[in-house]
Amino acid sequence: MMFGSSFRNLIFAQLPNPPYYAAIFSSQRTEGDHGYEQMAQRMFELATKQPGFLGFETARGADGFGITVLYWESEEAIVAWKANLDHQQAQRGGQQVWYAGYQLRIAKVERAYGKLR
């Protein structure tokens, strides 16, 4: 669920009216790339093709702390993404190489509002 720096220019996901689900992935990167950017690009491309995928928002600070939110139509879509074999391989890479720590939280979005200028 990690996406590379090439996607940081995307600000707000274009989403349908709620309800929908959010998979909120917070992480602290380790030093060095070690193939992370290539994997992140691949995971982004794969996630966007998954049934139920609605969009994402991501940010990472200079200190390596980042948050990526993936939006999904249902909990079942999130479970299917977690079970994807390529995604599982990336998860192992994250646990062993790319992340000093991470947290994943799943939430149901009941309301959403905001303003753009």
Q: Does 34 reside within a domain?
A: yes
**The pTM is what?**
0.86
In-domain check, residue 114: no
What is the CATH number for 28?
A: 3.30.70.100
pLDDT tens digits along 24-74 = 999 999 999 998 989 988 998 999 999 999 999 999 999 999 999 999 999
**Residue 31 lies inside a defined structural domain of this protein:** yes
Please give the single-letter amino acid code of residue 116: L
Residue 73 within a domain: yes
Provide the domain count of the chain.
1
Q: Is residue 102 part of a domain?
A: yes
* Out of 2-6, 77-81, 82-86, 96-100, least confident range: 2-6
| Domain annotation covers residue 20 | yes
Determine, yes or no, domain membership for 117. no
Count of alpha carbons within 13 angstroms of residue 100, beta-carbon side: 10
Q: Range of 46's domain? A: 5-109
Within the chain, strands assigned E span 20-29, 53-60, 65-72, 99-109
